[in-house]
Every structure is written in C-alpha cells, then in structure tokens.
A and B are shown apart, each in its own frame.
Chain A
C-alpha cells in the first residue's frame, strides 16, 4: 500500500503555491502561515523535501522572535543514515505550527556523543532525544541477546535524561529480516526475525519503567507492508533503513509524540450525522429507512464506525455532534434506533440546526470551554469540510474516504488523538464535559459565506422533466421531507403525465461545483390555474445543498418561466407536515406577500412577477438539453 497522508486534502496546485511563498514580499508571519498551510496537504516525500528546503531558506537565520512559534530542539541518534528523515520531521513540525531544529549525530557514534560532555550533542543540548537504531545493528550488537540490548539502551536513555533532562523517544525495531523457518519461526533459536518480534515486546515494558516513549515503526510498516518502508537494496547501497518514500510519514509519527507531550493533541471529535454515522438522511428517509446495522454491509460499516468512536470516547476523547437537521429528527436515532451504538449521553454537545457549520463549531468549542484548535470535524460532505477548512483553519478536518468501512482507519491514521498515557481522568472526561456543556446563545456569525460560495464555481443546469431523469425525479418527489413545501407524492405515471401537460412548467435542476457533481438536487412543478396564475404545486430540494443560493436561483428560473407565459402572479403554498418546518418561512424570506393561513397551518403566498428583481447569486445558471442522469 502506498504511503500517503491520505487524511489531508489533495495537493493540486501545491507546487505553484510554494513558488508564490518563495517569491513574495510578505511579512514573516504571512510566510510562516503560508508554510504551515502548505504542510497541511497530502504531499509526498518529494514535495516534503521541497517544502523543507523553502522553509529552511526563508528562515535561514532561525525563526524570528516576533513569530511566537514554539521551537523544539530534537537530536536524532542512529546507527545508520538518518539525514533523509530530517525534512519529514521538520515539515511535520510545520504542520502543527512548531519549528523543529534537528541535530543528527554522526552515525554509529551515539554512545560516544552521549558520554562525551564536549560532543556536539552536548553543545546542541536537545529538548528531545530520539534513538533510532536500525534492526541490523540491534540484532548484531548483542548477538541476538534481548537483555543485553535492552541494558545498552537503558544506559543511553539514562545518560540522555541525566545530561539534558529531556524527553527520550526510542524507535522500535523494524522487521527487516527474512524467515529462516516460516510460520513457526519462533521455535528457532537465534532467528533474527524472532529477535525483532520479541525485542519489541520486551522494549515496551523497559520503556515504561524508564518513562521513555516509543516510536512504533514496526506497526506502521505493518500497515503499508515492510517493503514500502524498507528496501534491502537501498540498505546495501546507502545504509538507509527507512526508505525515503516513507520519510514524510515517519516524520509525522515522530512529531505526533512531541506534539502530544506539549498538549497539542486534539481533544474533541465533532461528528456530522447523515451519511457519516449512519447511511441516508434521517429527515428524509426516516427512522426505519436509514442504513444502520445488520441487513447490509454499509449498515454494519456504520455500526463499526460508531463502535470505534465510542471507544475513543472511553479513552477520553470528547464527542460532539454538528448536523444540519431539525433537532427532533437528529435525536430520534439516538433515542429510538435499536442498532445505534452511540447514545445521546455519549455526546457532550449536540448541535442540530440549519446554520453554517463553522458557526456551530465555534459554538461547540465555547460550550465545552475548549479551544477551537482542539476540534476534529468529521463530515462526509466536501462542501462542509472545505467551508470549515477555510473559515477555521485551526480545526482538523480529515478527508474522509468514500467508503464508510474505511472511516475509522482514516481517523486513526491521521493520529489526531495521539496520547502518551491513560489515566482515570481520561476515563471520566466525556462525562465531565457533558455535565459542563450548556446551551449558550449563538455568537454573531463571522463566517464569510459569500466569499466561500464565490470560490465554489457553482453551476446550476436545468431542464424540464424528461425520460432520462424520470426515475430520479419520482424518487425525490417521494422521499424528500424536509425542504418540501407541499409534500405531494406522485407515481411515475403521474409525473409522466405532467411532462405532457402544456399548462404545467417542470424543472429538474442539478448542481455542480469544484468538488464535483451533486446530481439532481431540486424539483419544481408549477401549474397554470383558471385565473391565469402560476401555482407552485411542488418545490423540493435536497438539504445537502441548503444555504448555497439554489433557492434563489430556482425562483429566478420560475419567474422567467412565468414571464414567458405572460403570467402576472406566482402563488406559493406551504403545507406543514411536521417534518418541513425549515421551509415554513421560505416564501416570506424570498419576498412573497402573505395571503392567508388556514386553521390547519396551510399558508398561501403571492409574488408579483413584474415587480420581481432577479436575486443575485454566485451560481451560474444554464439550460441543458436532455440528459437527466
């Protein structure tokens, strides 16, 4: 498996952006912020090297004190070449807003440098020493004797702690040796492969006794395959135990430990609901129809993800929910769905409304009294992810894979919640936060929605109903509950009949943006009545595109349609169903005049076509011929 930082967003245009940072005349702080943001993409080891060279060049005299950036001095002690690992370490520091100075001891000289008070290592005086010995060296130095090897390491750890009072990190042994016997290799005395396995186990206890942290490279190699991490040819050629193509991840793993120690790990996992912890949209599909639990592979995958999240909560990660839903429908699975693993009281802060998510995340951080920079926001929808990345760059937003079965692995690989110990307080933390969290009035919104929408390059294409789109149209008409003004359900035959009716205007609309094609997301049916008015029979939209000006664009289209028929007025109707409260005020907000409200809550509205000024939107609207799918 290829080694990637797959939880970070794709790096299109990255190289040009890096050029921009080098060329510009920006202030130090602007340059620093640009470098930090460039480190937060899914870059490979080559780009990592480039970024590191730029950072080293821009700040060649060290980091200016005005930046107020945490700086860390790290010494790498090894028995083979480690220099190729340095850029990955420094860039991983940048990724977390930390500046790491690395000292690389002459290889094979680690003990001498620790012993000799006049050595360069002593002059450097590190905050952290990382002992990264290759498995060949570990196996040979003691002739495969684990006790001897550990005794030698303990001596090094103690020397480092005594001399510098610093953190010590010990790298585990990489499983580089081939089998001699096979599946039951452990029965063979003097097998180097067995030595590595048993050494790594014994190392855990020894490190715990001495308060040394482990860098578990053997476990990372197990994720991608040892061949990705280690190449025997490169070992013989250049004494690189770890392949350069793994160096960016190696650095990230090492720096996670440094960050965790400085309290820079994330504290709270904020979850979207629909298509994130269950399949489908609760407000539209209803409790019976969301995909969760036995009966489908996807349903089981969501259960497994919830279980992973619950385990995170048990080890001290606070859980919160941030969803675009009515609160009642968002809560219903937590209260009533038999397959839900997560329950309402697992969630310390539950926010369900229709406001933008950046605003809601600010609210969650405030309610829990934690920093915005301790939130990880998990959402399947790229629109929401990128809005949050843009508005709140301090929030970690993993690039979720398409398949819910892979959500847990994605979050785990990102290492947001790196921890170095587990205490009783961790066990109780979620509970404490839940008790503390309280409802607060919302802050003024500062989210720059217009700017964000502008950059989305949205394109709404529409056409009257056609055969190609028919199935999807019928499906939407029969399942949309929330953004649905009248909730009239039609069969395929009835919709087909509407297509033939010359007194009916029909619209199917699809929305594309730079993240892709959202498919058909809105439907309008308007009928000419006996008075020569155009009555909106059906207007519905997928909540996925709420707040993106599709409503305004749709009305613009409808008014054009009315004009082409020479109709003076459009009549809108709202029929309450208990699930479509979110559109109760839609017609008022769009400038319709209220005509009346019946006792059952139905209201009717009117719009004068001649007085209507087309709404301005960030959406380019075009008509396309045919092809609805």
Chain B
C-alpha cells in the first residue's frame, strides 16, 4: 500500500475517533497536537486502525505508536511483509 493511501485512510480513522473532520495528519502529529488523544482514545485509535487496515499490531509494536509517522511506518511494514 502506498504512503499516500495510508495517510488518506488513517486520516479518516482520526476524523472518526476524535470527532474532528478538520484534522490534517503530519508525520510528527502526536497526542500533544490533537485534542482528546488520551490513553483511552489511544486504545480505540489502535483498534480502529487495525480494523480499517486489516492488520494486527503486536504488543511490542504498540509501544512505538506515539506519533502518526510511526503509525504509517508500521502499517507500511505490515503490508510489505504480507506481500513477500
């Protein structure tokens, strides 16, 4: 999956979870830039991302998911490894 497509789908997830259609994602976007990105919503965000992309994040991977760049990177990795 191309990075642009990942951003597009991930943006829709953010809009849904944080109930804000104006959110624009940057690699550096993190909990301090987005209202409502607390530990509770973080769990929901990960569950929704897994469902929308059809991927599963492992326990050790989840800890790295602190900003959008990491989300995109990890999703990309999941897709490239699934194609091998």
Contacts and interface: CB of A to CB of B under 8 A. Distances in A.
Interface stretch (B3-11, B13-21, B74-82): B13-21
A233 B13 CA distance: 21
Interface stretch (A218-226, A239-247, A470-478): A239-247
Interface in A239-290: 240, 243-245
B35 to A, nearest CB: 13
Given A236-B59, A237-B59, A50 B51 contact: no
A83 interface: yes
B58 A233 contact: yes
Contact of B51 (A46, A81, A234, A237): A46
Contacts of A45: 47-48, 51
Contact of A244 (B16, B43, B52, B59): B43
B57 to A, nearest CB: 8
A50 B19 contact: yes
Q: Which of A49, A81, A236 has the most CB of B within 10 A?
A: A49
Nearest to A87: B44
B51 A44 contact: yes
A238 interface: yes
Interface in B48-79: 48, 51-52, 58-59, 62
B44 A49 contact: yes
Nearest to A57: B19
A53 interface: yes
B47 to A, nearest CB: 4
A84 interface: yes
Contacts of A47: 16
A47 B51 CA distance: 12
Contact of A46 (B16, B40, B59): B16
A573 to B, nearest CB: 60
Contact of B47 (A50, A81, A243): A243
A49 B43 contact: no
Interface residues of A, number: 19
Given A44-B51, A46-B48, A237-B62, A84 B43 contact: yes
Contacts of B17: 46, 49
A43 to B, nearest CB: 11
Contacts of B43: 84, 234, 237-238, 240, 244
A364 to B, nearest CB: 40
Given A236-B59, A245-B47, A49 B16 contact: yes
Nearest to B61: A233
A46 B62 contact: no
A8 to B, nearest CB: 18
B19 A53 contact: yes
A244 B58 contact: no
A464 B62 CA distance: 63
Contacts of A238: 39, 43
Contacts of A245: 47, 51
A84 B52 CA distance: 18
Contacts of B47: 45, 234, 243-245
Nearest to A238: B43
B83 to A, nearest CB: 23
A44 B48 CA distance: 10
Contacts of A240: 43
A45 B43 CA distance: 13
Interface string A223-235: 0000000000110
A244 B47 CA distance: 7
Nearest to B59: A233
Nearest to A15: B16
Contacts of A233: 58-59, 62
B66 to A, nearest CB: 14
Contact of A50 (B16, B40, B58, B59): B16
A226 to B, nearest CB: 16
Contacts of A50: 16, 19
Contacts of B13: 46
A424 to B, nearest CB: 46
Interface in A37-82: 44-47, 49-50, 53, 81
A84 B44 contact: yes
Contacts of A81: 40
A83 to B, nearest CB: 6
A49 B58 CA distance: 24
Nearest to A83: B40
Nearest to A232: B59
Interface in A8-58: 44-47, 49-50, 53
Contacts of B16: 46-47, 49-50
A47 B13 CA distance: 10
A241 to B, nearest CB: 13
Contacts of B39: 238
Interface string A83-126: 11000000000000000000000000000000000000000000
A233 B60 CA distance: 10
A53 B40 CA distance: 15
B37 to A, nearest CB: 14
Most buried by A among B13, B39, B43, B51: B43
Interface string B26-52: 000000000000011001100110011
B4 to A, nearest CB: 21
Interface in A539-573: none
Nearest to B13: A46
7 contacts: A45-B51, A46-B52, A47-B16, A237-B43, A237-B59, A237-B62, A244-B47
Given A83-B40, A244-B43, A244-B47, 7 more contacts: A45-B48, A45-B51, A46-B52, A50-B19, A81-B40, A233-B58, A236-B59
Closest 9 A-B residue pairs measured CB to CB?
A: A244-B47, A238-B43, A233-B59, A53-B19, A46-B48, A46-B16, A50-B16, A244-B44, A245-B51
